[in-house]
Amino acid sequence: MSEHSNPSNIYDRFAQVTKQTHDLVANMEQLQAQVTELMETNAELSIENDHLRTMLKKMHQQKHDDDHLSGSRENLKKLYQQGFHVCSEYFGKRLEQNESCTFCLDTIFGHDQPTIK
């Protein structure tokens, strides 16, 4: 008899193929779990990345907005840097060495100044 027609040999080959198939299915399930985990992590990181980009954009915009002073406030800033008070309380008086004045800084950089209509 040939080796292909031997029933015990066929059964052994069938058992071997069945075991290989089960091993393959187990490996595929592990790979599927890993792919799912990677996709979840990727989605979380994408959301976090978008959130961080939005925050950076807001911070950059806020800094950009804060850096722009009107022409008159730029002039007040220059006077203050040259050592003069620019606040209404002490306007034109000299600052002492290393002195800072909260009122002057508020006059220059304050954002809640009333607008003249």
Does position 7 have pLDDT exceeding 90, yes or no? no
Tokens of 49: 């990345």
Burial readout 78-107 (b: 16 or more C-beta within 10 A, e: otherwise): ebbeeebbbbeeeeeeebeeeeebeebeeb
Residues in CB range of 77: below 8 A, 6 or more apart = 69, 86, 108
Residue 66: its pLDDT value, please? 57
- Euclidean distance between CA atoms 40 and 89, whole angstroms: 61
Q: Tokens 């071997």 belong to which residue?
A: 16
Burial zone of 73 (CB within 10 Å; 0-12 exposed, 13-18 middle, 19+ buried): middle
pLDDT grade for 74, boundaries at 50, 70 and 90: confident
Q: What is the pLDDT of residues 97-109, one digit of tens each?
A: 888 898 898 888 8
- Please give the angle made by the CA atoms of 112, 74 and 79, to the nearest 5 degrees: 110
User: Is pTM, for the whole model, over 0.75?
Assistant: no
8 A C-beta contact, residue 87 and residue 104: yes
Does position 1 have pLDDT exceeding 50, yes or no? no
Q: What is the pLDDT of residues 49-62, one digit of tens each?
A: 999 999 988 887 77
**Ranked by mean pLDDT, which of 31-35, 52-56, 82-86 comes out on top?**
31-35
